[in-house]
Structure 1
Amino acid sequence: MVPYDLYRLLRCPTCGSRDLIVTDGGVACAACHAEYPRRNGYLDLMPRGVEFGYVSKYVSEEEELAHELDYRDLAPPLLAAGVRNRALRRLLDLRPTDIVLDSGCGNGRFAAWNANRVRLMVGVDPATLFADEAIKTVALVQGDARRLPFADGMFDKAFSIDVLEHFPRDVIDAYLSETARVLRPGGRFLVFSNTREPSRLQPLVEASRWLGRQFVRAGVYDFEREARRKSDHIKALATWEDVLEAMRHAGLRPVRVVFWNSVATSFVEHVLMKLGEAVVGRSRREAPHRAAAASTDDGAPIGEGTAREIRARQRMRARLQRRGPVYYALLAVTLFMELDLWLFGRARSGSYFIVVEKPEVRRLIED
């Protein structure tokens, strides 16, 4: 979706000019003459003639990852994504008058889930693996967070879910500084990410992971797709002190923190959910203890574990749209996982939600 209100927010990501002309095909910059086409449901606002040292695998391997990400269809926000989304709504306090940025939106699921709660929801990502629902409901932009194509102070709020752990430190600094630039004074920014720090409750988490490894050894399921998804995690912000320092460096003031000690979550993700996927995702032609090679529709090879997981998710999405017993069972599991935030949210751990604020000018001068 490319609504008219989106054009009001833009500036040229190449030269920084606000002298932009809306054309039949997209946007053109009158200052540097760069052209930014409108594509299938989004604007291509990548900076022209700029070479970045770091490129995410979701950009460099976009075509290959499209086969296994199963990104086009969205399920309701449940399980770990549901916990993230409920925390996002609660901590960021989204309002009908807000203009909100999802920076590094991925397929746009969090933006799409919350688009009807705000005045305008904008999603930006350098990769274009956007879900169909996001294309319909979110103002989508292909752009780089190191040079956001928006003018200063355009957004009331912003959020970043599962993004920072992918970046080296210099990219994190640029990402946070650009986010601070496009926030209005007093605007708030929610980040969910993780450091390398174990929590004091780690033995309970490891117990679920140990149980999951036993099922992997027995050939019941595997974590092939999860390992692929996390293969580029850098976690340059290795400690909580690193997180706070990075926020301060960008001129952002911490307002609230909730840690996610994944005691209940680990059991669900490493055992309960994987067992369910193994059952629901089994091919009708698949023998009980036999793993066969699989491929996508265009022949790209993927492992049987990944294929089984994709089948399970596709079959479950069809059931969840009906809001029947399966939906409410998974909602109950989501609320069980959310207990981690309510019971252990003050105990420092690797995973965290942090809300930061861009100080107003008067307060910044006083500080």
Structure 2
Amino acid sequence: MLYLADDGLRCAACATCYPLEDGYIDLMPRGADFDYVSKYVTDEAELAEELDYRDLAPPLLAAGVRDRTLRRLMRWQPSDVVLDNGCGTAKHAVWNTPYVGLMVGSDPATLFADEAVAKVALAKADSRTLPFADASFDKAFAIDILEHFPIDVIDDYLRETARVLRPGGRMLAFSNTREMSPIQPIINISRRIGRLFVRAGVYDFSREARRKSDHLKALETWEDVLAAFERAGLRPVKVIFWNSLFTTFVEHVLMKLGEAVLGRGSKKPTKPTAADPQPAGIAREIRARRRMRGQLRPGSPVYYALMAITLMMELDLWLFGWMRCGSYFILVEKPHGLSRSE
């Protein structure tokens, strides 16, 4: 049992203190020694500026497609108690808080957006040993999480998520395998166009490459995905694949050209220095995102333009969602009668 003390929450049995930090509670397991540690934990201070995480934009573009699909498949209820397991900045938790009774965000790194600190119940915690009681949550979700983990961590993550879900509770995961889309040759046209602009020096993908540098994709095939959820005792309910025909054009050409224009600095790009350690491409993208956020008031022309592009990207799901490929949304359910040991 935990009780509130001057320095945080204390365990009545072992006297361990779990400190209350600025906007979240530190519930990391004490004395645990894990083989795998995310780069977002080991390099948290270094990544803080690069991720530009403090301010949230509205749910638009690829993040908007993920969020719209999350809401459509989860069918939030006002009484739902929901876990965003591995929440990162907790942007999806923020965007969906108005539709549920309680939204909890959990992550071992504390790169939480300011709005998340204000609106979401946040915990610094490890998904391999979640600090929540059995059957605590009606629903849970994992957006862009599983591709980061080795198999043993995936198994622990899914098993713990299943444990804290109530019987009949549902989880949605978005991730990707190593499988190619049946329409990959068409999708790759946009990638080739993007590479031409990169060679011309118009923009680059350095920030995207850094963000994905720890992607393991240990679940290499769709069969691997199904087997992992089966091991956790979670039953598939619905699957949508994301064959990114429109999305790739937007991300590799359209938005990168916009970023190149908006992110222009006042001087010619230079190599990183000790005083300015960021590569020019990363600095340009951060400038573009910050300038764009200032124009994203709901109802503004820029907002409506980006919403139209978001809906175009969502066509990939409506037109090709039945077609097996690497990127997927999977909705699963914890069957009634599943015990903790199972």
For 1:214, which of 196, 209, 214 is the aligned residue? 196
The answer to whether the Cα contact below 8 Å between 2:178 and 2:220 also exists between their aligned partners in 1 is: yes
SS at match of 1:156: strand
Residue aligning to 1:6: none
- Hey, what does 1:230 align to over in structure 2? 212
Q: Which runs of 5+ in 2 are unaligned?
A: none
Higher mean displacement: 227-236 or 315-324 = 315-324
Structure 2 matches for 1:299-318, cutoff 5 A?
299=275, 301-318=277-294
Q: Partners of 2:275 and 2:36 in 1: how far apart?
A: 30
Partner of 2:18: 36
Alpha-carbon separation, structure 2, partners of 1:217 and 1:60: 33
For residue 323 of structure 1, what is the amino acid of its counterpart? G
* 2:166 corresponding residue in structure 1: 184
Aligned counterpart in structure 2 of residue 66 of structure 1, from 36, 43, 48 = 48
Secondary structure at the aligned position of 1:301 is classed as coil
Tell me how far apart the structure 1 counterparts of residues 271 and 55 of structure 2 sit (CA, whole Å). 24
Quote how far apart the aligned CAs of 1:31 are.
1.7
Is 1:81 the counterpart of 2:63? The answer is yes
Specify which of 234, 239, 247 is matched with residue 257 of structure 1: 239
Q: Secondary structure at the match of 1:348?
A: coil
Contact 1:75 1:321 in 2 (8 A): no
Match of 1:326 in 2: 302
What stretches of structure 1 of length at least 5 have no aligned partner?
1-18
CA contact (8 A) 2:7 2:17 kept: no
Paired residue for 1:125?
A: 107
Task: Quote the Cα distance in structure 2 between the aligned partners of 1:25 and 1:112.
Answer: 27
Q: Percent identity?
A: 66
Distance of aligned partners of 1:100 and 1:300 in 2 relative to their CA distance in 1, 3 Å threshold = farther
TM-score, normalised on structure 1?
Answer: 0.91
| Match of residue 78 from structure 2 | 96
After TM superposition, give the deviation of residue 294 of structure 1 in Å.
Answer: 5.5
State how far apart, in whole Å, the 1-side matches of 2:81 and 2:151 are. 28
Shift of 1:300: 5.2
Q: Which amino acid is the alignment partner of residue 22 of structure 1?
A: L
- Alpha-carbon offset, residue 123 of structure 1: 0.2
The answer on whether the counterparts of 2:242 and 2:316 sit within 8 Å (CA) in structure 1 is yes
Give the structure 2 partner of residue 291 of structure 1: 269
Match in the other structure for 1:350: 326
- Asked if structure 1 preserves the Cα contact closer than 8 Å seen for 2:107 and 2:123, the reply is yes
The offset of 1:322, in angstroms, is 5.2
After superposition, the Cα gap between the structure-2 partners of 1:322 and 1:331, relative to the gap in structure 1 and judged at 3 Å, is closer
Distance 1:300 1:123, change over 3 A: farther
Contact 1:264–1:336 (Cα < 8 Å) also in 2: yes
Residue 221 of structure 1, CA deviation = 0.1
Identify if the C-alpha distance between structure 1 residues 227 and 174 changes in structure 2 by more than 3 Å, giving closer, same or farther.
Answer: same
Partner of residue 12, structure 1? none
Deviation sequence 1:120-175 (CA, Å, 0-9, x none) = 00000000010000000000000000010100000000000000000000000000
- Given that 1:125 and 1:144 are in contact with CA atoms closer than 8 Å, whether structure 2 keeps it comes out as yes
1:342-361 superposed Cα distances (whole Å, 9 cap, x missing partner) = 00000000000000000011
Counterpart residue number, 2:30 = 48
Q: Distance in 2 between matches of 1:280 and 1:72?
A: 20
Q: Which amino acid aligns with 2:206?
A: E
Q: Structure 1 85/191 Cα, relative in aligned 2: closer, same or farther at 3 Å?
A: same
Work out the CA distance in 1 between the residues paired with 2:62 and 2:17: 40
Aligned to 2:335: 359
1:145 matched to 2:127: yes
Q: Please name the residue that 1:11 is paired with.
A: none
Q: Quick one: which of 308, 313, 316 aligns to 1:340?
A: 316
Cα RMSD after superposing both structures: 1.3
Q: What amino acid does structure 1 have at the position aligned with 2:83?
A: L
The answer to whether the 8 Å contact 1:165/1:195 transfers is yes
Give the whole-Å Cα distance in 1 for the aligned partners of 2:6 and 2:131.
19
